[in-house]
A = this chain, B = another copy of it.
Amino acid sequence: MSRRYAILGTGAIGGYYGACLQRAGADVHFLLRSDFDVVQQQGLRIDSPEGNFVLPQVHAYQDVSTMPVCDVVVVALKTTQNHYLPQLLPGVLKQDGVVVLLQNGLNGEPRVAEIVGSDRVIGGLCFICSNKVGSGHIRHLDYKAIALGEYASDYEPKGITKRLEAIAHDFEQAGVPIQLTPDLMQARWRKLLWNIPFNGLSVVLDAFTDAMIGHPAVLTLVEDLMWEVVAIAAAYGRKLTRADIDTMISETEAMQPYRTSMKIDYDSKRPLEVEAIVGCPLQMAQAKGIPAPKLAMLYQQLLFLNHENVGEV
């Protein structure tokens, strides 16, 4: 692999994929904060049903100014940390390099594009169950595929580029299945179809996925929210269907009982990704006059619970 990778945010997502890339021979550079000392000394440790592995030595950095410039800068921060991006990205991104934003929700790429230009942004959606269980210690539980797509201004579909294929090839060499999407926003809306009801309600109802879909009233509420998302996506020209909803439900039924990432954040007293996952889609609904009362109520409830949990407004 000839491309040099930076991983900004070495947690459940960045730590796992970065470690996979390094194990497969890539030149990977990890930015850390609280875990810097441990990772500097002991490297990264990945537990996985596919086999545990340790990388005793990794390139670890505490400060982006000490990092080499990289061809691919993987942003695996929580969306709640995106206000750091103007400080982080310019120094580490090579002139002809590209940012790969591995986040949920809808407001990430435009923010990155403001900093590095809209022709240097790729978006990614991770379908993975993974947790950070200690400093430099990631537990990969299930799945790991990523959907990757080029970003263009206003999320105009941009098709599949050579650059996209090259990065996909690196990840696939590292054992990560990649699905290339010609329309990033379509992929983002489709993932929101799951994230909005399940992430949101898992916090409000203090529940795992199996309990939610196992209760008729909540299953109905999940579908009600999904239909609101379908209507909003349609207003932006992205078609989701009854079949997408059915697939989401049946895949969730087939999953192990799962604590969503938002619930993990909540239980860990970390700020919730309310804006990226719920607030931004709701704003987009309002901008087009699409009724989304249950999405609005979910947003109102999450704002309150987040505030009570971590003191943020």
Query: Is A215 an interface residue when CB atoms closer than 8 A count as contact?
Result: yes
Interface size class of A (residues with CB under 8 A): 20 to 34
Q: What are 13 contact pairs spanning A and B, CB under 8 A? A: A204-B301, A205-B304, A207-B308, A215-B307, A218-B303, A220-B300, A221-B297, A221-B300, A224-B296, A224-B300, A294-B294, A294-B297, A297-B298
CB of A200, distance to nearest CB on chain B (Å): 11
Q: Which of A207, A211, A305 has the most CB of B within 10 A?
A: A305
In the complex with contacts A217-B299, A294-B297, A299-B217, A304-B207 CB distance below 8 A: yes
Chain B positions within 8 Å of A294 at CB level: 293-294, 296-297
- Not counting A215-B304, A224-B296, a sample of 13 additional A-B residue pairs whose C-beta atoms are within 8 angstroms of each other reads A204-B205, A204-B301, A205-B305, A205-B308, A206-B308, A211-B308, A217-B299, A218-B303, A221-B297, A221-B300, A224-B297, A293-B294, A294-B296
A303 contacts B224, CB within 8 Å? no
Chain B positions within 8 Å of A211 at CB level: 304, 308
Q: Report the bound CA distance from A112 to B300 in whole Å.
A: 38
Q: Report the bound CA distance from A303 to B224 in whole Å.
A: 16
